[in-house]
Amino acid sequence: DIQMTQSPSSLSASVGDRLTITCRASQTINNYLNWYQQKPGTAPKLLIYAASSLKTGVPPRFNGSGSGTDFTLTINSLQPEDFATYYCQQSHSSPLTFGGGTKVDIK
């Protein structure tokens, strides 16, 4: 199985901050990498697919980049509604696997 490692596992930030979350795959996955946002008590929502493609309707302050084994999710000018847990997910190989999550809370 491909292991997905996210860092950090949690962070504190303020409204207006720019933050970066990293996701590393245990082997190359080309650009088969997706990002989700999950708020407490709700289902995850797709933000970015294929490493850098923004889902329609997702604010452009969310940006995904990377290829191969190293990927980043950047949130520019953090908004109050962005405090949540973020997960990466690879679809290069079965079984599809997720990172352990990065919880973003208010500083």
Partner 1 sequence: QVQLRESGPGLVKPSQTLSLTCSVSGASIRTDDNYWSWIRQPPGKGLEWIGYIYYRGHTYFNPSLKSRITMSLDTSKNQVSLILSSVTAADTAVYYCARTPPASLGDWFDPWGQGTLVTVSS
- The binding site for partner 1 (CB under 8 A) comprises 31-34, 36, 42-46, 49-50, 53, 55, 87, 89, 91-92, 94-101
**Tokens 């596992």 label which residue?**
9
Q: What's the closest the beta carbon of residue 47 comes to partner 1, in angstroms? A: 10
* Residue 90 Cβ vs partner 1, minimum distance, rounded to whole Å: 8
Nearest C-alpha neighbor of 17 from the set 89, 91, 82, 101: 82
Of 13 and 96, the one with the shorter C-beta distance to partner 1 is 96
**Phi and psi of 82, rounded to 5°?**
-90, -5
Which is closer to partner 1, CB of 61 or CB of 92? 92
Nearest distance in Å: CB 19, partner 1: 20
Q: Which of 87, 85, 86, 78 is nearest to 107 (CA)?
A: 78
